[in-house]
Amino acid sequence: MRFLSVCSGMEAASVAWEPLGWKAVGFSEIEPFPCAILAHRFPTTPNYGSLLTHHEWPVEPGSIDLLVGGTPCQSFSVAGLRKGMADPRGNLALVFLGLADRVKPRWIVWENVPGVLSSNGGRDFGSFLGALGQLGYGVAYRVLDAQNFGVPQRRRRVFVVACLGPGGWEAAAKVLFEPESLRWDSSTSRKKGENNPRNVKNCVGLSIYENRPTDSRITGPHLIAPTMTSRFGTGGGNVPFVHHIAPSNVAPTVTSSGPPYSRTGNERVETEALAITFQPGNLCRQAGAEPSTTTTTTLKASSGDQMPHVAQSMSVRRLTPRECERLQGFPDDWSLIPWKGKPVDQCPDGPRYKACGNSMAVPVMRWIGTRIAAQKLSK
């Protein structure tokens, strides 16, 4: 299967569909850091740049089997201004349709936030679906939540699958819907938190980890991350995790520019979600190590590692970029690349957080891909 990915970001589609043997013939991305990720991870695949210039791309009708993209969601998001198609970013959905009309792929996969369903009273989304119909596509759409596909993040997104030609709507529906749901044979309800596919500790490696709604920005069930946004970990709108700390344990903190640190003696040890044990007298040591004789330091951006603090019953820390990659289903350090002439180990965290927050969830895309492949094989 040959596909063209637009508004590519850090390219969840390619990561998801590589096991299927599918190949991207080109990308479309303009943000500098995601462009650098694409160039680093896919050096032989061209990035055509702005979607607005698609008429200039060397992509001919019939040269691709599938067009995939998640056009910018800010104009549809309930957290945005809700200008819908009146916003130039929302209008990229129409440009996406223009590209589909030009290259005529058999399959289309489009993703956006749930707010697109209610934008302009539902008329924006209705216009998008209607245009697909006029282009000859049968369409199905469904809201899918990433936490049901193996990652511990609440991330509800609208997915539109379209198939060209007579009977296209039936093929699209078979991709997004199981026979049980088409018969309205819904599964029995479950208790809160029961049968969640994974929990956050699998991403961050903490043995004592509980997400508690003590911070106003924390909502939802225990052990499931809030929805990741492009501001995750990069400013006032970022979302911390609040950890419940047992009497003798505390999670490390992170600074605005680096990963968690712990202190052993006079050495500062860089660590990925390493548990620290507090001893009487506010002395700390690494789990399993001999007690230290120095006072522990809580790191924060304003004081470096010079200000000692007494351990509290609750600890707040930000997710690291690697943990955010795991929440989206990417391989570890997928976004850790050489950047602006600096080596990999000096790649800044800020653009990595943004790229993760703007990406699609890899396991959801893989599920859609496998079901499209099954439809293709059944022809």
Question: What local confidence, expressed as pLDDT, does residue 353 receive?
Answer: 94
Question: What local confidence, expressed as pLDDT, does residue 188 receive?
Answer: 58
Domain for residue 347, yes or no?
A: no
CA angle, 89 then 95 then 101, to 5°: 160
Q: What share of the chain is helix, strand, coil (3-state, %, to 5)?
A: 30, 20, 50
Domain for residue 194, yes or no?
A: no
pLDDT at residue 63 tops 60: yes
pLDDT at residue 81 tops 90: no
Domain for residue 274, yes or no?
A: no
pLDDT at residue 206 tops 50: no
Residue 29 sits at φ, ψ, to 5 deg, of -150, 140
pLDDT at residue 168 tops 70: yes
Please check whether residue 75 is in contact with residue 82, taking contact to mean a CB–CB distance below 8 angstroms: yes
Domain for residue 348, yes or no?
A: no
184-196 pLDDT tens trace: 555 555 565 555 5
pLDDT at residue 158 tops 70: yes
pLDDT at residue 216 tops 90: no
pLDDT at residue 90 tops 90: no
pLDDT at residue 274 tops 60: no
Instruction: Decide if 73 is catalytic.
Output: yes
Which residues are bridge partners to 143 per DSSP? 158
Question: What local confidence, expressed as pLDDT, does residue 302 receive?
Answer: 47
Question: What local confidence, expressed as pLDDT, does residue 268 receive?
Answer: 41
Domain for residue 51, yes or no?
A: yes
Mean pLDDT is highest, among 13-27, 126-140, 222-236, 301-315, for 13-27
Please check whether residue 128 is in contact with residue 161, taking contact to mean a CB–CB distance below 8 angstroms: no
Q: 2-6 and 23-28 as β-strands: parallel, antiparallel, unpaired? A: parallel
Supply the pTM of this predicted model.
0.71
337-369 pLDDT tens trace: 999 999 999 999 999 999 999 999 999 999 999
Domain for residue 297, yes or no?
A: no
All residues at 6 or more sequence positions from 62 whose CB lies less than 8 Å from its CB, including other chains: 103, 104
7, 35, 73, 163: which one is catalytic? 73
290-325 pLDDT tens trace: 444 444 444 444 444 444 444 444 556 778 899 999
Question: What local confidence, expressed as pLDDT, does residue 204 receive?
Answer: 57
Please check whether residue 262 is in contact with residue 269, taking contact to mean a CB–CB distance below 8 angstroms: yes
pLDDT tier for residue 92 given thresholds of 50, 70 and 90: confident
Question: What local confidence, expressed as pLDDT, does residue 192 receive?
Answer: 57
Question: What local confidence, expressed as pLDDT, does residue 258 receive?
Answer: 42
Q: pLDDT averaged over the chain?
A: 74
The domain tally of the chain equals 1
Question: What local confidence, expressed as pLDDT, does residue 229 receive?
Answer: 74
Please check whether residue 94 is in contact with residue 52, taking contact to mean a CB–CB distance below 8 angstroms: no
| Beta strands across the sheet bearing 66-69 | 23-28, 2-6, 66-69, 107-112, 156-164, 137-145
Whichever domain contains 362, its CATH number is 3.40.50.150
Domain of 79 in residue numbering reads as 2-187+357-377
pLDDT at residue 146 tops 80: yes
